[in-house]
């Protein structure tokens, strides 16, 4: 904006301010009682404080997010497949020739249970996990132990299966708390943008 246009804009703004001020002064402010003598709004008419923020929060998608689950607690997807993270257990690596333990790393076994409470077979190949350190972050590495069992195949309605998978993490650097996020893509109409269940567990 050049100088001429800017001055014109300032003049227009000043004129509008004077017009509003004139209207207000002609409304009889001197005849209005002081604030202390005015009637307070009735309770029914008064707008409750905080209602709007509460309504917005309850309407938002975050209110439907599953909270952190503890070992032994279950999450059930809409199709009826239920998952439980049973325990995280440190593995003694003294006799494991196939695993070379980096300094600070802890090998641990994750025991999980899956129950199909739905009315159709559940595709276990559609189940996956993400592991992260819960204390100060930290990457968790995929491992494979002889006692591990792959999540594969189909689980019939009414059936339960228990599996074991192995992971490792530098517990000296990141602590022993682990966040486990589970994903399942086997249900029709799965909301891929929705929240996924998370467990917070300690390597025992």
In the prediction, which pLDDT does 84 show? 98
Domain boundaries, the chain: 67-202
43-62 b/e with 16+ CB inside 10 Å = b?
A: eeeeeeeeeeeeeeeeeeee
User: 98: Cβ–Cβ under 8 A, 6 or more apart, which residues?
Assistant: 146
- Residue 173's nearest CA partner among 133, 132, 146, 128 is 133
* Calpha distance 66→84 (Å, rounded): 14
Concatenated DSSP letters of 21-54: HHHHHTT-GGGSPPGGGSPPPPTTTSPPTTHHHH
Task: Please list the pLDDT of the chain residue by residue as tens digits (204 residues).
Answer: 443 334 334 343 444 343 434 444 444 444 444 433 434 444 444 444 444 444 444 443 332 335 799 999 999 999 999 999 999 999 988 877 766 777 889 999 999 999 999 999 999 999 999 999 998 889 999 998 888 999 999 999 999 999 999 999 999 999 999 999 999 998 875 666 778 999 999 999
Closest CA to 119 of 158, 167, 92, 153: 158
CA 20 to chain centre: 49
Residues in contact with 162: Cβ distance below 8 Å, sequence separation at least 6, in sequence order: 86, 111, 112, 113, 114
In Å, how far from its chain's centre is CA 153? 29
Contact (CB, 8 A) for 196 and 181? yes
**pTM score > 0.75 for this model?**
no
The fold adopted by the segment(s) 67-202 is: Immunoglobulin-like (2.60.40)
3-state secondary structure of 11: helix
Torsion of CA 174, 68, 201, 105, to 10 degrees: -30
**pLDDT for position 130:** 97
End-to-end CA distance of the chain: 68
> Around 82, how many Cα atoms within 13 Å sit in the side-chain half-sphere?
14
Q: Looking at residue 195, what is its pLDDT?
A: 82
Q: What angle do CA 107, 111, 114 make, to 5 degrees?
A: 150
């Amino acid at each position: 904006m050049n100088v001429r246009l800017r001055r014109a804009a300032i003049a227009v703004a000043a004129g509008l301010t004077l017009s509003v001020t004139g209207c207000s002064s002609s409304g009889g402010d001197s005849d209005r009682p002081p604030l202390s003598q005015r009637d307070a709004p009735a309770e029914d008419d008064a707008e409750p404080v905080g209602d709007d923020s509460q309504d917005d929060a309850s309407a938002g998608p975050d209110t439907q997010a599953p909270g952190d689950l503890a070992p032994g607690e279950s999450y059930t997807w809409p199709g009826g497949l239920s998952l439980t993270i049973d325990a995280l257990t440190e593995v003694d690596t003294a006799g494991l020739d196939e695993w070379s333990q980096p300094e600070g790393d802890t090998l641990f076994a994750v025991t999980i249970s899956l129950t199909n409470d739905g009315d159709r077979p559940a595709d276990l190949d559609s189940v996956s996990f993400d592991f992260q350190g819960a204390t100060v972050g930290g990457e968790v590495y995929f491992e494979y132990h002889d006692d591990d069992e792959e999540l594969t195949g189909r689980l019939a309605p009414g059936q339960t299966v228990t599996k074991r998978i192995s992971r490792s993490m530098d517990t000296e650097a990141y602590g022993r708390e682990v966040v486990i996020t589970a994903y399942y893509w086997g249900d029709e109409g799965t909301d891929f943008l929705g929240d996924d269940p998370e467990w917070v567990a300690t390597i025992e």
